[in-house]
């Protein structure tokens, strides 16, 4: 059995994150799932949320948009529209985005896009969670 999973998160704008992971925890469409080295091949839909990556240097918490995950033969890839390390998140900006999204959901004025407001709310909450987990002592 392999000791590490080569794990990459690749975003639509070309950003890439790369680890030799001991453990990966993902928010799959049908519930959270954890992956250890030697996991059987799988392709799965990932919902917006927080990805936890345990590696030799510590643990990273990534806020990610919805995407697709693939793991096989000690290699894992997560393709998403956007990803951000919790250590790099601007908390004030995430809180402001949550406030705007909640106001839009209450307002519902002409031309209102409820789906977009809900996505914005979920994204801001995921960013806040990744930030909090990354800054725990």
Map out the domains of the chain with their CATH numbers.
5-86 (2.60.15.10), 90-134 (1.20.5.440)
Given this model, what pLDDT does residue 2 score? 66
Given this model, what pLDDT does residue 21 score? 97
The reported pTM is 0.89
**Location of structure tokens 């390390």:** 85
Q: What is the mean pLDDT of each run of 10 residues along the chain (137 residues)?
A: 89 93 97 96 96 96 97 97 95 94 79 82 94 89
Distance CA 75, CA 5 (A): 6
> Which residues are within 8 A (CB) of 110 and not within 5 positions of it... i.e. 6 or more apart?
none
Given this model, what pLDDT does residue 15 score? 85
Given this model, what pLDDT does residue 111 score? 67
The helix-helix angle for 114-134 and 91-107 (nearest 10°) equals 150
């Amino acid at each position: 059995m392999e000791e590490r999973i080569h794990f990459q998160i690749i975003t639509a704008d070309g950003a890439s994150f790369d680890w030799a992971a001991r453990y990966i925890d993902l928010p799959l469409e049908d519930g959270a799932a954890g992956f250890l080295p030697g996991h059987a091949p799988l392709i799965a839909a990932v919902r917006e949320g927080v990805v936890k990556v345990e590696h030799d240097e510590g643990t990273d918490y990534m806020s990610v948009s919805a995407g697709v995950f693939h793991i096989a033969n000690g290699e894992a890839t997560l393709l998403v529209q956007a990803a951000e390390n919790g250590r790099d998140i601007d908390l004030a900006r995430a809180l402001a985005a949550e406030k705007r999204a909640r106001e839009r959901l209450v307002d519902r004025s002409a031309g209102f896009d409820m789906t977009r407001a809900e996505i914005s709310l979920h994204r801001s909450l995921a960013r806040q969670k990744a930030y909090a987990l990354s800054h725990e002592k």
